[in-house]
Chain A
Amino acid sequence: MSDIKGKAIVLNMNNVSTDQIFPGQYVNLTDPNEIAEHVLEGADKSFKNRIKTGDILVAGNNFGCGSSREQAVITLKEAGFAAVIANSVGRIWYRNAINLGLPVLICEGFVNQVEEGDEIEVNLKEGIAKNSSKGTIAKGNAISDFVLNIFANGGIKPMMKSKILSK
């Protein structure tokens, strides 16, 4: 997989829950465009207007903790985020992100080296995040080949589909 490049959107808060990423009052939505409308509404209502397609979300500790709702990944992906970098992430949210093909890099402390709008590059295989605007590099967790393969295939759905077809 090649490097992912984008402008940083910074959310330097800890324990941003799925209830904040995608509030419970909307969990009956299934249309991805409608789901994108409410991105991070529980954390900051103005968030939607700050995001441009291809941006990279840079977050704090335990991002995505809480419920299993998959809209908490869909909303970020459909709102335009190309990747998420966080100090640490909630487990179910992380699995959902992998399965839906939203690249996530766990990189402790990176959020403190980034300002909104900085140019960011992510290399998932090496687990490296680069802040091109500031000229800094941070080492996060390298991603296993198993997970990298899921990202490379655009998520688990296309993989399962081709597996079923090949049977």
Chain B
Amino acid sequence: MHALEKILASHAEKDVVTTGEIIKAKVDLAEVNDLYLQTIYSFYEMGGKKVWDKNKICFVFDHYAPAPTIKTAQIHKEMREFVQKNNLTHHFDINTGVCHQVMHEAGLVYPGMILVATDSHTTTHGAFGAFGTGVGATDMATIMISGELWFRVPEIVEIEINGKLRPGVMAKDVILYILGKLGADACVYKAIEFCGTYIEDLDVAERMVICNMAVEMGAKTAYMVPNQKILDYIKTRTNKEFEIYDTDEDFVFAENFVFDINNLTPQIAVPHSVDNVVSIDQLPEVRIDQAFIGACTGGRLEDIQAAAEILRGQKINPRTRLVIIPASNEVLLNAIKFGFIEDLIKAGATLSTPGCGPCLGAHQGVIAEGENCVTASNRNFPGRMGSTGGSIYLASPATTAASALMGKLTDPRTFLKGENI
């Protein structure tokens, strides 16, 4: 069996699971974000009284933090009341950050666990060797009542990534490149294991970027064997004991893909699909009205650092807005401590408080009809970040920063100072 199958089997109290089988598995952590007041309504509709385990369910207010409208303020109010009524141990209000950042910062994510959240980007937690997957409100209400959920044991695809990135090229470029090659429906309802020499030595933040965007290929979950960097990180966050499952030597993947990234250039997903990917040097001049660095894909300290290193001592193009939203308060504090926020604000950036921001078109910098936006976030579907008449270009934080500086899509390698990006 694969490590992911062993995780499912152990949570279903079975010795063996097979592809296609439908099992009922116990959930270790369930997370509900603030788009999902419906979860509470469904919970009561189904006859729920109290949540199954107050330590294993948390709410994160990130999509509307802080509340931009009266309606969303009401959502927060009703959700807070539910948190208090059920005396939930872990609660992340508007003063914390994006769910896929604050949960592991709080020590709630570890290898071998099943983490289910009302958010499609829950594949992110594969970076930690966890089985993370997204669901809707009704599934979540079922978990809140019973602590269990039905799963179809997925086919597992292996994506091997070998090599070393050149300066100015980031993990985001790697996953965009793969998306472009395989397509947005390459792994629908399948799991992906990322492996190869590039992944083996990869840092925590970059591993998260790759797993985060696995869902853009349709994946149910993503997985990476936890490396020493991940284990060291988890140790600083929790004393919890966990098991790392090994994939059996005789396990056969449903499909295998191999990529070499030694000569990879910065990549861009052009409107209006995540798999519409080209190398930046293939594009004609594209005017940029807004640049966004943030969200669960591109709002970590490393992302903000990459932007600061390009923009330090510079001024962004006067026709372009640059919105910076750190993924969490911890990221924000560190970005202040290291001087990145000062660099960015002096360069003309607009700073907003931690949360999902304009990534899903809710607030904090949505785009107007006819505007072009380059973004370190994850989706460029029509209307994703505001007007359906806007155009979204997905890129790395470095490309996003370089583009804000020049007011047009720009190769960040133009601004390399040494080899520190």
Interface residues in chain A, defined as those with a beta carbon under 8 Å from any beta carbon in chain B: 14-15, 17, 19-20, 23-25, 27-28, 30, 42-43, 61-62, 65-70, 73, 88-92, 94-96, 99-100, 144, 146, 155-157, 160-161, 164-165
- B301: interface (CB < 8 Å): no
B360 touches which of A27, A42, A96, A160 (Cβ 8 Å)? A27
A95 to B381, CA, bound (A): 21
Given A67-B120, A160-B47, verify A19-B185 contact (CB < 8 Å).
no
A20 to B386, CA, bound (A): 12
Contact B382 A19, beta carbon cutoff 8 Å: yes
- For A167, the closest partner residue in chain B by CB is B47
A69 to B46, CA, bound (A): 19
A20 to B382, CA, bound (A): 7
Contact A91 B35, beta carbon cutoff 8 Å: no
Across the interface, which residues of B come within 8 angstroms of A89, CB to CB? 188
Q: Interface on chain B toward A: helix, strand, loop, or mixed SS?
A: loop
Contact A62 B185, beta carbon cutoff 8 Å: yes
Q: Indicate with 1 or 0, residue by residue over B43-81, a CB within 8 angstroms of chain A CB atoms.
A: 001111000000000000001100001011001000000
Contact A96 B138, beta carbon cutoff 8 Å: yes
- Least CB distance from A153 to B in Å reads 12
- B107: interface (CB < 8 Å): no
Given A68-B118, A161-B46, verify A42-B35 contact (CB < 8 Å).
no
- For A43, the closest partner residue in chain B by CB is B382
Across the interface, which residues of A come within 8 angstroms of B137, CB to CB? 70, 96
- Least CB distance from A21 to B in Å reads 10
B119 touches which of A14, A68, A70 (Cβ 8 Å)? A68
Q: Indicate with 1 or 0, residue by residue over B268-282, a CB within 8 angstroms of chain A CB atoms.
A: 000001010000000
Contact A70 B38, beta carbon cutoff 8 Å: yes
Q: Indicate with 1 or 0, residue by residue over B250-277, a CB within 8 angstroms of chain A CB atoms.
A: 0000000000000000000000010100
Across the interface, which residues of B come within 8 angstroms of A70, CB to CB? 38, 136-138
Interface residues in chain B, defined as those with a beta carbon under 8 Å from any beta carbon in chain A: 22, 35, 37-38, 41-42, 45-48, 63-64, 69, 71-72, 75, 118-120, 134-139, 141-142, 145-146, 150, 184-185, 188-189, 218-220, 273, 275, 360-362, 366, 379, 381-384, 386, 388
A71 to B22, CA, bound (A): 25
Contact A99 B118, beta carbon cutoff 8 Å: no
Across the interface, which residues of B come within 8 angstroms of A24, CB to CB? 360-362, 383-384
- Most central of A19, A65, A91 by chain B CB within 10 Å: A91
Across the interface, which residues of A come within 8 angstroms of B379, CB to CB? 17, 19, 66-67
Given A19-B384, A92-B120, verify A160-B136 contact (CB < 8 Å).
no
A65 touches which of B141, B218, B362 (Cβ 8 Å)? B218
Given A23-B388, A42-B388, A157-B42, verify A68-B382 contact (CB < 8 Å).
no
Contact A91 B218, beta carbon cutoff 8 Å: yes
- A–B Cβ pairs within 8 angstroms, 14 of them: A15-B184, A17-B381, A17-B384, A25-B362, A25-B383, A25-B386, A27-B362, A65-B185, A73-B136, A89-B188, A92-B135, A95-B139, A96-B138, A157-B46
Contact B381 A20, beta carbon cutoff 8 Å: yes
Contact B45 A157, beta carbon cutoff 8 Å: yes
- Least CB distance from A123 to B in Å reads 21
A145 to B354, CA, bound (A): 45
- Least CB distance from A17 to B in Å reads 4
Across the interface, which residues of B come within 8 angstroms of A155, CB to CB? 138
